[in-house]
Structure 1
Amino acid sequence: MTTLTHDPARTAPDARPARKGPRFGGPIWLVWRQHRAAFWTLLALTLLTTLAMIYLRGQLTDHLATSPQKSLPPDIEKYTGRLFSAGSHLGYAPILAGVLIGAPLIAGDLESGTAKLVTSQSVSRLRWLTTKLAMPAALIALSTTALGAVFTWWWNPVRSRADNLEWTSSAFFDVTGVLPAAHALLTFTVGAAIGMLLRRTLVSMVVTLGTVVAIGFIWDRFRLNLGHVLSVTTHEGVGPDARQPELPAGAVQQGQGTYFLTDSGARLDWTTCLDKMENTARTSCLESKHVIGYAADYLPASQMQPMQWLGAVIMLTATAAIVTFILVWGRKRLL
């Protein structure tokens, strides 16, 4: 008779319980372990800032409820001041993304030798670089988008009612819509590229700070050029009772203010005939120059989102170019 032997090793079920949920391994696990303190700090700051803005918006709407629908309370500046201050502080997010996350990202691994250790294993340089860039970029995009959306929600009740909250201000234009994420991703990749080239963490952070500040200065100087300036004119003379140009609701005046308009369509600035102190004398002087009315340039509020999208496209295009440079350079000359 043949005896069948029982092999426990073949039939016994695995004593280890199956692990539930997502399992990270390889470069993803390594990048998370390396930068988990920065990642958790970013997420915590995003959550706390979001809760603070939700609370302040509640205070604003409660205060607005005490006044008629089309008027603002006399002390509304207290609440709009908080809004403007919050928007100004949110504008520092791209600097923090570039200096504190981007610059040390690759430079730290090159300086400590971690990059050489990782890429000497089964992980290719391209895979390692892609993972190093993708994880922080995803968290930065998520955080800045969430903050921008909540800030916009806070701003909405007064954006078309308060004269001191111009949408062209960087405290509103740069931290709403798609711009916060696009700007932060640009500065993050700039910092990562500088860190890869300089290979020293502290030096990379300092150089990135200067570079990001320069980018912010250039952006602040030229961002309004993304819009199409419109004009409004009058042709009723320039005497004391003449009507001044009226801008549409929410529009922001551009240029040097109101110009004098001549019958040929030319413009004269406000200093024209200023040496004539009396109103009648100045009016006569302006009429002798064939001035027939006023002209004013403005950007309508309807152009805000198209301008933001155009700016975001420019920033994301630059970001894609920098990422391509990092991957190509790093794949061949990283170590």
Structure 2
Amino acid sequence: MSTMTSTGSTGSPAPAESAHPRAGRGRGLRLSGMNWLVWRQHRGAYWSLLITAAIAVAVMVYWRQQMVTYLDGYGWPDAKSDWEEKFDQAPLRISGQLLGYAPLLIGVFLGAPLLAGDLENGTVKLVNSQSTSRVRWLATKLGVTALVVAVSTAAASAVFTWWWSPVKSSSYVLAWSDGLAFDSSGPVPVALALLTVVGGIAIGMLLRRTLLSMAVTLGFAVAVQLVWSHFRMSLGDVITATTSNGVGAEKFPKLPDGAHVLDQSYLTASGDLIGYGSCNVESEKAANACLEKAQVVGWNVEYIPISQMSSMQWLGASILLALTAGIAAFVILWGRKRLV
């Protein structure tokens, strides 16, 4: 009798594991259930975002290599002079601008249509007739979308931060307090993108019309950017530097490299402050007379050092993410009873 196949008394083959492999063997990681359904429905938008992020990362990696080669020619980091004169800052600025627009575009083209499209074309009624609860459907929509957005923006932000780090202390390249740098590095792009995309989802759920939701989300995203731009610098701890040995240019307080100056004024003998432009007159003699009359003895400078940048970004991102969580909770609570 052959040793390869054994048969029973009826001549039929005996059960063999090779005929029916165990479930899951060699299957790998795959989406299933509601996760698969959401990915399948929005795969075009998700893949577009992921591919765009991958291209952006590749381009920034190439540009960073070009920058490092340029800096090496000046003996960086030991020789820190003269390199700024011919440094091409356009790639960094363009990348910062594009990363700044990313939350707006993601909110408008991904967030707003996510629920508005289902409500407008009636897909939500079909979902409501199935055994899956609305809460699970909404949570999956929010979760998968947030994951794709977070991965895409985090990758782009991490590479931009790595690219800019060697020259971040130079205000000639990009001032760290400017939105091109502050909002394009660290956790800030992720937090801004998540806020605008979840805000767009909420707007789409309430308005139930895709184009109208996209228009309103655009306004929402712009408003978020404007409020954030006025708010970001208040996240830092202001440091004050004073002098009392005159106000000549050579007697100006020595500030750390990359420090962001918020205000500078004159300090008088009585401890009062007068505005920097108070004695700006045409003649030097008249200016000196003005300073002497006001009994000016030195400078008073308020600034935020670049060392606070990371903590400011994480504090701001935490606030933005808390707002995002609140909007996401509203979407689930509202949609649980009023989605249809």
RMSD: 2.2
Residue 48 of structure 1 and its aligned partner are, at CA, apart by 0.6
Q: Distance in 1 between matches of 2:171 and 2:339?
A: 53
Query: What residue is the counterpart of 1:22 in the other structure?
Result: 29
Residue 229 of structure 1 and its aligned partner are, at CA, apart by 1.4
Query: What residue is the counterpart of 1:201 in the other structure?
Result: 210
- Listed as ranges, the matches of 1:151-300 within 5 Å are 151-161=160-170, 163-238=172-247, 243-255=251-263, 258-275=264-281, 277-300=282-305
Q: Is the 8 A contact 1:119 1:128 kept in 2?
A: no
Cα distance change on mapping 1:42 and 1:242 into 2, 3 Å: closer
Query: What residue is the counterpart of 1:44 in the other structure?
Result: 51
Cα distance change on mapping 1:188 and 1:74 into 2, 3 Å: closer
Residue 285 of structure 1 and its aligned partner are, at CA, apart by 2.1
Query: What residue is the counterpart of 1:330 in the other structure?
Result: 335
Matched residue count: 327
Cα distance change on mapping 1:305 and 1:123 into 2, 3 Å: same
Cα distance change on mapping 1:30 and 1:234 into 2, 3 Å: same
1:71 aligns with 2:88: no
Q: Distance in 2 between matches of 1:47 and 1:272?
A: 53
Q: Distance in 1 between matches of 2:120 and 2:17?
A: 47
- The one-character-per-residue Cα deviations of 1:274-300 (angstroms, maximum 9, x if unpaired) are 34x332332122122121111211110
Matching residue's letter, 2:298: G
2:131 to 122, 145, 154: 122
Q: Distance in 1 between matches of 2:145 and 2:86?
A: 39
Q: Is the 8 A contact 1:190 1:208 kept in 2?
A: yes
Q: Which runs of 5+ in 1 are unaligned?
A: none
Cα distance change on mapping 1:219 and 1:110 into 2, 3 Å: same
Q: Distance in 1 between matches of 2:338 and 2:50?
A: 33
- Listed as ranges, the matches of 1:295-310 within 5 Å are 295-310=300-315
Q: Which runs of 5+ in 2 are unaligned?
A: 1-7
1:33 to 34, 40, 49: 40
Q: Is the 8 A contact 2:113 2:214 kept in 1?
A: yes
1:62 to 63, 69, 76: 69
Q: Distance in 1 between matches of 2:163 and 2:253?
A: 32
